[in-house]
Amino acid sequence: MINNLSREEVFRFLATSEKGLSADEAGKRLIEFGLNEIKEVRRVPLYKRFIAQFTHFLAILLWLAAGLCFLSEYFNPGEGLLSLGIAIVVVIFINALFTFIQEYRTEKAVEALKKLLPFNVKVSRAGETREIRAEHLAPGDLIMLSEGDKVPADARVIESNGLTVNNAPLTGESASSQRSHEAYEGDYFESPNIVFAGTHIVSGSGRAVVFATGMATEFGKIAHLTGGVHERLSPLQKEIIRVTKIVAVIALTTGLFFFTLGFLVGRSFWHNFIFAVGIIIANVPEGLLPTVTLSLAMGSQRMAKKKALIKNLTSVETLGSVTVICTDKTGTLTQNKMEVQQVWTMITDVGARRAVPLQLMQTAYRCNNATFDNGKYKGDPTEAAILKAAREAIGDIKAERIHEMPFDSDRKRMTTVYKAGVGEKDHPPIPPLLRGGAGEGGFFIFTKGALETVLPLCTGILAGGTIGASHESHLQMTDDYKNSIMQTYHSMMDDGLRVIAFAFKEISEGPEIESRGTARRALTDIESGLVFAGLMGLEDPPRPEVPDAIRKCREAGIRVMMITGDAGRTAVAIARQIGLVRDNPVVIQGPEMNAMTDSSLREKLESDEIIFARMTPVNKMRVVTILEDEGERVAVTGDGVNDAPALKKANIGIAMGITGTDVAREAADMVLLDDNFASIVNAIEEGRTIFENIRKFITYIFAHLTPEAIPYILFSIFKIPLPLTVMQILAIDLGTETVPALALGIEAPETGIMKRPPRPRVSALIDRQLLFRSYIFLGLISTIGVLFAYFFVLFKGGWQWGTELPTNDPLTRQAATATFLGIVILQVGNVFACRSSKDSIFRLGFFSNRLVIIGIIAEIILSAFIIYHPVGNRIFGTAPLGIDVWMLLIPFSIVLLSAEEIRKWLSRKRMAA
C-alpha cells in the first residue's frame, strides 16, 4: 500500500517528482484515468421519470377508458364519446405533469456529489505552481494544501507543516487528526500520511501526491455504493396501487356484468357498450390521484415552512409510518462544535473556585494553532474551543513563538517554545517563582495532549497557592497527585468529555533552530521535567431541542437508535445527556459487528437501548437492512458522505441542510433546512396527519360513486331515461368535488395523534370499515336523495313509467341534471361528515377549516355554471332546474350529516365502554 512507502518511494511508485508532473504527462494521464469527477450511478433519466407518470396502474386504467371511448366513437359516431375520451386524456396529462413538475422542483438538478470537490486547486506542474480546475487532476499530480481547503482527491502526504484534517464528512468522527509524511505500516484508513477526497484541512499546510481520482477515491466508492441501492415503492405508493387494483376490479366486473345484462333485456350492442363504458367511468375515481398528489404537495409545502424539505411527494406520508429512526451523532444530535465544558487543576483554594487558573489558561493559549480573526475562531475545532476558553479567561496575548513540535498520532501531544517576557505587559504575568532564576532571557515550554503522554513527562504540579494569583505555586509530583489526576481524568471521560492535559516549564537556554524549523536539542530535554498545569474537558454539545424531540418520539412509539462513527464512551455519554438511554445500553462497535452473524445482530437489535459506534457505511447499511427485514419502517438521519448509502437504503433518508454534505442531501428523501432534529418530530406528525386525511377524502370521494353507479344500474334494468351522462360524472369527479376533497387533505392533526404508536405494517389505507362507511352507509343515503330528485323531475314533467325518452330530450336532460345536482348537494353534507371519522362536527366547528367553506362555494358556483349557462348546458348535456329541486335536496344533505353524527356518537360510546 502507498502508505507503507517512504517519500522517495512514493515518487518512484507514481512516476512523478518533487516538481510534479509536466503538462504533457498530466494530459496523458487525464486521458488514461479520466476526469476527477464523481459519476452518478443508475440515475434514471428525466424522460423516463416523466414517462413513468403515464404508466402507473391508475393511469393505465384511464388510458383503457379513453381507448374505449375513441373506439366507440369510431364505430358509432355522434354519441359524444370523442369529447369524453379527450377529457380523460387531458386528465391523465394534467396529473402526470403536475406530479412530475412538483417532484422535479424539489430535486436538485445539479450533480451534488461534484460539489464536494473544490472548484480550483493549486498544483505543481514541472516545478511551477498553478491553479487548475479540480476535475483536471491526475494521479501523480503534486498538490498544495492549506487551511480551509477541501481535499480534491485521495493523496499521499509528502510534506506537512502542522497539516491537520477533519475526516468527519467521510468517517463521521468529529476529532481532527494530524498528517505527516512518514511511512506508516498500520491500517490504510488510519494512516496519518493519507488525505481523502472530500475531507477538510482545518489547520497547517502541506504537499501531497495524488494517487486516486474520481470514482477510484474512497469518496467515489461510497458514491458507487449509494448508487447501487435500489429505490423501492413507499408505503403510500403500494397502497395507491392496491386501491386502484380494487377499484379496477370493481369497475371492470360491474361493467362486464351489466354489459351482459343489457343483452338479456334486449338492448343493442352499442347501447350496451356505451353503458358499460359509463359504468366503468362511474366506478373509477378519476379525481383520486390528482387529489392525492395535490394533498401531498400541499403537505410538503407546509413542511417546507417548518424547515423540512421533501424531495419525493410520497415521502410525506412515509414519515408518518416510521417505527425506527437511526440517527447519526455528530452534527445531528450534537452541534458539531467543540466547547470547553470543564477546567480542573490541583490548586486547593476552595474560596477561589470562580477565579481563573492563570497558568493553565496561558498554556492553553500559547500551545495552540487556532486563530481569532474577524470575530471568528478558525482552525481545528478542538484547538479553537481551547483558544476561546483561554481568551475569555485572560484576554489576548502577544508573544513570540520560536519553535513548535506539532501533534502527531505517535506522540499524541504538541509543544511550543516562547521567549520569556515578550508581550507579558498585555496580560497577567507568569508567576515569578516559575522563572527559576532565568530572568528575562529565559524560554517557556508549553505542552498539551493526551494525559497518558503528558503526565509521564511531569515532575511537578500546580498544587498550592490561590488560583489566578501571582503566587500560584507548584509542588513535587507524587503518586497521590497522579492518582488524583487519573481519577479526575476517568470521571471526565465518563461524562463523555474529550480530555486534554496541559503542562509547562521554563528553561534558561532555548533550543537551537535550524532553517527548516527543526530543533538540534533533543526533544526529551525540551519536554522533560514539566510542571502539570491541569485538565480541560471538551464536549461537542447536544442540540438543545434534541431531548424534547426524543421524548416525543418515545411517546409516539418510535425507537431512536444512535449510529455514529465516534467512540462508544462518547456516544453513550451524549445519549444519556439527551435522554436517548436511561439504563445501561448495549454498545456495539464496528469491529465487533463485523464478527457478528445476522442472527446475533437481530438479537441485539431487540434490546430496548442500543448504540452503534465506530460504524462504517457498510455497517450502517447492514443495520438498516436487518431492521427492514424485521418489518420495521426505518428513517435514517445523517449529514456526512458516510451516511449516504444508509440514507438511500432506508424507507426514508433525512439529511441535514446546513452542516450536511451535498452527497447526503442528494441521497436523502427529506432535508432538514435548519438541521433541527426536532423538525423530524413535526414531519412525522405531518406524515401521520396526511395519512389520516387521505383516508378522509377517499371516504368522501368513494361516497359519491354509489349514487353515480346505482342510477346507471337502474337505467340498464328498468329502461328509465338516462339518469346521468359520463361528462357529468367527470364534472363531479374532476370539478365540483376537487376543492372540498383538498380541504379534507389539509385538516389539522387530530388530538393525540403523536400519542399513538405507529400504525401496523398491515394497516391498509382502505379497509373494510372505510369501504362500508363510504360505499354503503354514506353512499346509500346519498343515492336515496339523488333518486328522489331524479324521479321528482321526471314525474313533474309528465313522464310515465316504462316510457323511453331519447338522451337529447329536454326532460331527460333535466332529470339527469337533477341527478347531477343531487350528488353535489349531498356531497356538501358529506364533506362535513368526513372531516373526522370519530369527532363530531360540532366539536371541530363548521368554520374551522376555511378551505372547506371555499370548496363548497366553489362547487356551488361551478354547478350553477354547468346547470344554467348555455356553454355548460352544451358541454355537459344539462338543462336549467327550478329552485324547488334545490330546496328538495337540502334536507337530504342534513339527514346524511345527522346520520353520520349518530354513527360517530355510537362509535365513541362503544370505544369508551
| Tens of pLDDT, residues 569-609 | 778 888 998 999 988 899 998 889 989 999 999 999 999 89
Neighbours of 822 (CB within 10 A): 30
The residue among 542, 539, 565, 590 whose CA lies nearest residue 169 is: 565
Q: What is the DSSP string of 797-849?
A: TT--TT----TTSHHHHHHHHHHHHHHHHHHHHHHHHTT-SSS-HHHH-TTSS
Contacts of 205 by beta carbon, 8 Å cutoff, 6+ apart: 144, 145, 146, 147, 161, 162, 163
More confident residue, 510 or 773: 773
Q: What is the mean pLDDT of residues 49-76?
A: 79
Query: C-alpha grid cell for residue 673?
Result: 433546512
Q: Is the pLDDT of residue 756 over 80?
A: yes
Q: Map grid coordinates 522533560 to a residue.
A: 528
The residue among 264, 277, 267, 161 whose CA lies nearest residue 208 is: 161
Q: What is the mean pLDDT of residues 633-658?
A: 80
Query: C-alpha grid cell for residue 619?
Result: 455497517
Residues 785, 703 contacting (CB under 8 angstroms):
no
494 counts as catalytic: no
**Torsion of the alpha carbons at 180, 183, 187 and 190, rounded to the nearest 10:** 0
d(CA 647, CA 624) in angstroms, rounded, equals: 9
d(CA 528, CA 458) in angstroms, rounded, equals: 7
Query: C-alpha grid cell for residue 599?
Result: 442472527
d(CA 618, CA 597) in angstroms, rounded, equals: 14
- Residue 722's DSSP bridge partners are none
Residue-wise burial string across 567-592, b where 16 or more C-beta atoms lie within 10 A, e elsewhere: bbebbbbbbbbbbbbeeebebbbbee
Instruction: Determine the 3-state secondary structure of 119 from DSSP.
Output: coil
Catalytic: which of 141, 328, 643, 669?
328
pLDDT at residue 62, rounded to an integer: 77
- Residue 76: pLDDT band with limits 50, 70, 90: confident
% the chain with pLDDT above 70: 84
What's the mean per-residue pLDDT of the chain?
81
More confident residue, 221 or 793: 793
Residues 273-304: tens digit of each pLDDT: 767 776 777 677 666 766 777 777 777 777 87
Please name the helix (run of DSSP H) or strand (run of DSSP E) that holds residue 745, with its range, or none.
helix 738-745
d(CA 413, CA 21) in angstroms, rounded, equals: 36
For the whole model, what pTM was predicted? 0.66
More confident residue, 894 or 97: 894
Q: What is the mean pLDDT of residues 6-13?
A: 90
Phi, psi of 338 (to 5 degrees): -75, 140
Residues 265, 80 contacting (CB under 8 angstroms):
no
Residues 225, 170 contacting (CB under 8 angstroms):
no
- Residue 313: pLDDT band with limits 50, 70, 90: low
Domains, the chain, ordered by start = 2-40+111-228 (2.70.150.10), 285-304+686-912 (1.20.1110.10), 308-335+543-675 (3.40.50.1000), 359-537 (3.40.1110.10)
Residues 363-377: tens digit of each pLDDT: 999 999 888 888 888
Q: What is the mean pLDDT of residues 5-12?
A: 90
Q: Map grid coordinates 410520497 to a residue.
A: 314
Summary count for the chain: helices (H), strands (E) = 35, 25
